[in-house]
Amino acid sequence: MKIEQIKNNAFSMPITTPSAPLIDYKFKDREYLIISYETDIELLKEVVPEPLKVISNVVHFEFMKMPDSAGFGSFKESGQVIEVEYNGRKGLYSHLMFVDDVASIVAGREVWGFPKKYGFPSLDVDVDTLTGRLKYNQTEVAIGTMGYKYYEGDIAATKSALETTPNYILKVIPSVTGKGTDVCQLIEYYMADVNVKGVWTGPAALQLFEHALAPVAQLPIKKVIGGKHQIVDFTLSYGNVLFDYLK
């Protein structure tokens, strides 16, 4: 393989059969259960990287089911998102993510820098209850429940928020020397081509359990604010580097 070929074709590993194809990542019928809760704002400040600023004590715990994802197939995901601000713009910072699809983990980390680890999320309707679960290996670390389709939400407002809210990630790629990192960047991305198919709210509850390697409970629940259930089509846009910690 010639040097020029490597330059032209290097996008994801392994180079001869990339785990992440260079495509538009389109998601159809992506289903979310989002349970918002209050936690200790000082703990949030400890995990949110500067120059992002924590603007509230609210954490959003997400359980997601993605049955039709270009390049990835069908998989599930769960994690925590924190409300932040960057240069006066309010957005969301991805803190922890757990996914049951290797291709999604690889692409998410290599391309955008999503903080993904392998886990076993689920999202199902249990009679009259929408139920999200997250296991790390065989151990349950989170359970979220919400009354199924109690109240219809505002589709237009949800679409606007998804399209206009910046999302932030801390992308880290370690150095092969074992000393420091080769890449350490603050990334921004947006959702595009958003089509909201349904939004609902209802009574919600959330439990987080202590785990050494899946520390979702390190942002403990003080008060559950509420739940939101939504089904959305969208394109995951490529991102921008906002801040390079190595320069």
Q: Say which amino acid occupies 65.
A: K
Q: How far apart, in Å, are the Cα atoms of 88 and each of 45, 140, 161, 171? A: 17, 38, 16, 21
For the residues of 110-177, what is the DSSP string, one character each? Answer: III---EEE-EEEEEEETTEEEEEEEETTEEEEEEEEETT-EE--HHHHHHHHHH--EEEEEEEE-TT
What are phi and psi for residue 213, nearest 5 degrees? -110, -5
Return all residues near 115 (Cβ < 8 A) that are at least 6 apart. Answer: 79, 94, 95, 96, 97, 109, 169, 170
122 forms beta bridges with 133
Task: State how far the Cα of 233 lies from the Cα of 198, in Å rounded to an integer.
Answer: 10
Q: Is 222 a catalytic residue?
A: no
Token pair 């209050």 in the structure block, residue: 38
Among 65, 76, 116, 228, the one annotated catalytic: 116
Q: How far apart, in Å, are the Cα atoms of 103 and each of 72, 90, 171? A: 6, 30, 17
Active site amino acids:
116
